[in-house]
Amino acid sequence: MRLNPVLDKLTPYRAGPPVTAIQRRYGLDTVVRLSANEIPWGPFPEVIEALKRAVEGLNRYPDGSCEELRGLLAERLSVPEESFMFGNGSCELLMLLGQAFLSPSHHVVIPHPSFVMYRSIAMMNGAPFSAVHHRDLVYDLDAMLAAIRNDTSLLIVCNPDNPTGGYLEPPILRAFLDRIPEDVVVVLDEAYGEFVTSPARQESAVWLSEYPNLVILRTFSKIYGLAGLRIGYGIADRQVVQALDKVRQPFNVDSLAQIAASESLRRPERMEERRWQVAAERDRLASRLTDMGIGCRPSQANFLLVDVTDLRIPGPEAPQALLERGVLTRSGYAMDCPGWIRVTIGEVEEGDLFLAAMQELRDARGPAKMTHPVAGLSAETLSPES
Ligand SMILES: Cc1ncc(COP(=O)(O)O)c(C=O)c1O
């Protein structure tokens, strides 16, 4: 077999075993999944009804250009219809951007630590990349600018950032965009944009007329509760949309996903309600952690990056110790963010379980309750990278 040699550098994504397997292994009644930045609630009720009605039409291929959804978004955001592109999750759009813009002679600048897909799209396309380290867990925008080379075609910024939760306010981001050469496409990944409650928040889609090299990515996986359906969208200059049309398969977004996304957009009040519900729980967890003497980073997303260096167990063991107490989190050690874990904002009861487990790990009394991780059932393999 003559496999593409770039595959030698790639490792397959390993999804963890189901929650039931963890329950059995550790004898737990409840396991909460706070590792993948999913929202704890399902699709809006109107979306569920629309999906039920749509199932009968599944003998037909979907609309390859997502006309209805495109029209709704164009109206909502006051952006021309031709500026939208759709993907099987925003992950697919990242992959298509990689195919369209990266090659061994096209370099990409990515933040570090960050979402695993950014590095993957560089490696899949054999593209050189510069992973620019955050400074004190905040974007080092000057260093990102300095990393741009003559052969740079893409630069990626995630806002709010995964895994730190940090938010680059619009004036800072725009000043940064002003300094990027026009032939470098800036991918602004706003997977968590709907969770922002900062008064500084602005609709970034309106910046497109000023910055034709800007590509905004969004997803229905997070606040809309549609992660299982896989649908995301991008807003970009026509040239970018046309380039991606050349590399995508004709029916890349399934019909149920399109219907669910359109119906979700028709319920802005429900989305707004979720935004504030998540923010309230985010504030509650942050202040309870502070009361316990545990630090966390300011977040505008649906997760918190929590300091695990002051627990009575070594920090790298914290995700496993939490798992054994029924709480799945994402280890910062696995994301090159040592000393931290990332915890998704869930229901209040889920947050309480997390806080109780953290309190135990924080408590100075008694030996840590640790069992040895079994192969294939450790916190690392259980926590999807996202
Ligand atoms: C920063 C970031 N971008 C993009 C995605 C991909 O989302 P999806 O492919 O579900 O739209 C995620 C998922 O967790 C993410 O964290």
* DSSP states of 164-228: T-----HHHHHHHHHTS-TTSEEEEE-TTGGG---TT---GGGGGGT-TTEEEEEESSSTTS-TT
Ligand 1 pocket check for 331: Cβ under 6 Å = no
pTM: 0.94
Mutate to test the pocket of ligand 1, among 38, 112, 219, 253 (most ligand atoms within 8 A of CB): 219
Least confident of 19-28, 45-54, 257-266: 19-28
How far is 210 from 308, CA to CA, in rounded Å? 42
Ligand 1 pocket check for 306: Cβ under 6 Å = no
How many residues in the chain? 386
How far is 190 from 330, CA to CA, in rounded Å? 20
Mutate to test the pocket of ligand 1, among 162, 188, 194 (most ligand atoms within 8 A of CB): 162
Mutate to test the pocket of ligand 1, among 158, 217, 221, 345 (most ligand atoms within 8 A of CB): 221
Residue 31 C-alpha to ligand 1 middle, in angstroms?
23
pLDDT reported for residue 364: 62
Nearest alpha-carbon partner for 73 in 177, 224, 176, 293: 224
Contact between residue 245 and residue 238 where contact means Cβ atoms under 8 Å apart: no
Ligand 1 pocket check for 148: Cβ under 6 Å = no
Domains in the chain with CATH codes: 5-42+270-382 (3.90.1150.10), 54-266 (3.40.640.10)
**Average confidence (pLDDT) over 37-62:** 97
> For the segment 229-268, what is each residue's pLDDT rounded down to a tens digit?
999 999 999 999 999 999 999 999 999 999 999 999 999 9
**Structure confidence at residue 89 as a pLDDT band (50, 70, 90):** very high
Ligand 1 pocket check for 189: Cβ under 6 Å = yes
**Average confidence (pLDDT) over 288-302:** 97
